[in-house]
Amino acid sequence: MRSQYRGTVGQADKDRTNVFQLQAEIENLLQHLCYMQDVNADLLSHVRVMKNATRKADAEKTKAEEQKNQQDLYVERLTKDLERLTEKMAVYEAQASTQAKETQAAKEVLSEVAKA
């Protein structure tokens, strides 16, 4: 009986030790699981941040392209206005030159008429 009792007690001690080891392993695995879940949450957060940054950069790029196109159109309009005004100025200068020659000719005619 004693030998059977000692055997049973010894087996119970081994089983308790085995249970403690399994519980320690479960706790370690749970800690590892929690750590991995935290890492996963952090990675998902970083992915969301990167996606938002990418969307923002794309929006800024699109806005910059639109502004560049508007500036190009504005510069083109200013260039056309400059060309039109330059042509007008050339016409006015030609008219002024012609008027100056006509005025000089009229003065010469008046001068000859006054001498005669």
Q: How far apart are CA 18 and CA 25, in angstroms?
A: 10
Residue 103's pLDDT is 96
pLDDT tens track for 85-101: 999 999 999 999 999 99
pLDDT score for 115: 84
pLDDT for the residue 13: 95
Q: What is the pTM of this model?
A: 0.54
- What's the count of helices (H) and strands (E) in the chain, helices before strands? 1, 0
Give the separation between CA 116 and CA 105, rounded to whole angstroms.
17
Query: What per-residue confidence (pLDDT) applies to 15?
Result: 96
pLDDT at 116 over 80: no
The pLDDT of residue 87 is 98
Q: Is 116 helix (H, G, I), strand (E, B) or coil?
A: coil
Q: What tens digit of pLDDT does each residue of 43-84 get?
A: 999 999 999 999 999 999 999 999 999 999 999 999 999 999
Quote the tokens at residue 77. 């309009």
